[in-house]
């Protein structure tokens, strides 16, 4: 695969940012600050997902670690990050069925848009 071929594939993949932006905000023209910000963020997360999937696949294929080891590490990291979010947003916990929000969240949510 050449650099040009890779650029073409990534360019095609990141076109999906527009669909995700529209899904989140509704149709927005280029130049709309909110739309541009969400498009930029979606592009980054799309690329990060492709890059991390490629990297993990290579590391497993090269025998650096096994799929089970990666799954165990990812499970640990997900749990730690969820706990970090709970500390950052007091009163909110995540479960398999969604978010639970109690009254401790009211002070920091006070200025949020409806």
> 50 is written with which tokens?
């492709």
Nearest to residue 30, comparing CAs of 38, 9, 5, 99?
A: 38
Residue 111 backbone phi and psi in degrees, to 5: -90, 10
Query: What confidence score (pLDDT) does residue 74 get?
Result: 96
User: What are the sequence ranges of the domains in the chain?
Assistant: 3-64
| Contact assessment for residue 67 and residue 60, using Cβ atoms and an 8 Å cutoff | yes
pLDDT over 80 (residue 114):
no
- pLDDT tens-digit readout, 17-52: 999 999 999 999 999 999 999 999 999 999 999 999
- pLDDT tens-digit readout, 38-93: 999 999 999 999 999 999 999 999 999 999 999 999 999 999 999 999 999 999 99
């Amino acid at each position: 695969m050449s650099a040009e071929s890779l650029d073409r594939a990534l360019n095609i993949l990141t076109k999906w940012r527009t669909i995700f932006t529209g899904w989140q905000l509704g149709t927005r023209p280029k130049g709309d600050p909110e739309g541009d910000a969400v498009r930029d963020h979606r592009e980054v997360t799309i690329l990060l997902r492709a890059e991390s999937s490629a990297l993990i696949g290579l590391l497993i294929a090269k025998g650096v670690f096994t799929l089970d080891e990666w799954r165990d590490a990812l499970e640990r990291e997900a749990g730690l990050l969820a706990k970090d979010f709970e500390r950052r947003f007091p009163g909110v916990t995540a479960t398999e069925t969604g978010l639970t929000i109690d009254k401790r969240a009211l002070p920091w949510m006070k200025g949020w848009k409806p």
